Amino acid sequence: MVEKISFTMNGKPVTVETDPEMMVLDVIRELLNLTGTKHGCDNSTCGTCTIVVNGKAIKSCNLPLKKIAGAEVLTIEGLAKGTQLHPVQKAISESGAIQCGFCTPGIVMELYGLLEEKPDASQAELENALNKHLCRCTGYEPIRDGALMAQKLIQERK
């Protein structure tokens, strides 16, 4: 069964013609060739496939395509404006939060989803958001540092 499904990807309208049950992660990576969003596990555990749909961070590996019809979708490729990084990207790239980098896109999108909507997110909200992501490299301390730095940059921007 093939359907035409339209949505906005990183600000541009797109239409794909495929199985509406196909997972958004596969649509993004295999049909749209946006490989910044990663495939780490197969069951919504590691969080590296996180994208932002209508402003909310969500894991894309168990999200069927039909659920994003008409939605505004943002992936890691959509955050920087040219060489100007989004504050979350700037903070995460400077705090030591990156080692192998494989969990990074998901964590950046998670923080983007949270902090763009709630620049004053509480510590508990930050913890709950970041607890959806596995990182095997950093021991998480530099990710927390990066999240707090990102929050500060976003608060100061407004």
Residues at the site binding another protein, with contacts judged by CB under 8 A = 29, 33-43, 45-46, 48, 75-77, 79-80, 85, 89, 92-94, 96, 98-105, 108, 127, 130-131, 133-144
Name the one residue in this structure whose structure tokens are 């946006």: 34
Residue 63 or 103 with smaller CB distance to another protein: 103
Q: Which two tokens stand for residue 25?
A: 């992660």
Name the one residue in this structure whose structure tokens are 């994208």: 51
State the minimum distance, in angstroms, from the CB of residue 136 to another protein.
5
Residue 68 or 106 with smaller CB distance to another protein: 106
State the minimum distance, in angstroms, from the CB of residue 25 to another protein.
11
Q: Find out whether 55 and 46 touch, Cβ atoms under 8 Å.
A: no
Nearest to 56 by CA among 114, 6, 7: 114
State the minimum distance, in angstroms, from the CB of residue 104 to another protein.
5
H helix or E strand, kind and range, residue 57: strand 56-59
Residue 54 or 99 with smaller CB distance to another protein: 99
Residue 113 or 142 with smaller CB distance to another protein: 142
State the minimum distance, in angstroms, from the CB of residue 9 to another protein.
13
Determine how β-strand 72-74 pairs with β-strand 3-9.
parallel
Residue 72 or 77 with smaller CB distance to another protein: 77
State the minimum distance, in angstroms, from the CB of residue 97 to another protein.
9
